[in-house]
Chains A and B, each alone.
Chain A
Amino acid sequence: AQSVAQPEDQVNVAEGNPLTVKCTYSVSGNPYLFWYVQYPNRGLQFLLKYITGDNLVKGSYGFEAEFNKSQTSFHLKKPSALVSDSALYFCAVRDSSSGSARQLTFGSGTQLTVLP
Chain B
Amino acid sequence: DAEITQSPRHKITETGRQVTLACHQTWNHNNMFWYRQDLGHGLRLIHYSYGVQDTNKGEVSDGYSVSRSNTEDLPLTLESAASSQTSVYFCASSTGTATGELFFGEGSRLTVL
Contacts and interface: CB of A to CB of B under 8 A. Distances in A.
B40 A43 contact: no
A106 B90 contact: no
Contact of B42 (A49, A101, A106): A106
A102 B99 contact: no
A65 B101 CA distance: 16
Interface SS majority for chain B: strand
Given A43-B104, A45-B104, A32 B41 contact: no
Interface residues of B, number: 24
Given A90-B42, A102-B50, A108-B41, A46 B98 contact: no
Interface residues of A, number: 22
A74 B107 CA distance: 27
A96 interface: yes
A102 to B, nearest CB: 6
B102 interface: yes
A103 B45 contact: yes
A109 B42 contact: yes
B96 A44 contact: no
Given A32-B99, A103-B45, 18 more contacts: A32-B98, A41-B106, A42-B106, A43-B90, A43-B105, A43-B107, A44-B90, A46-B101, A46-B102, A51-B99, A94-B98, A102-B50, A102-B98, A103-B33, A106-B35, A106-B42, A106-B43, A108-B40
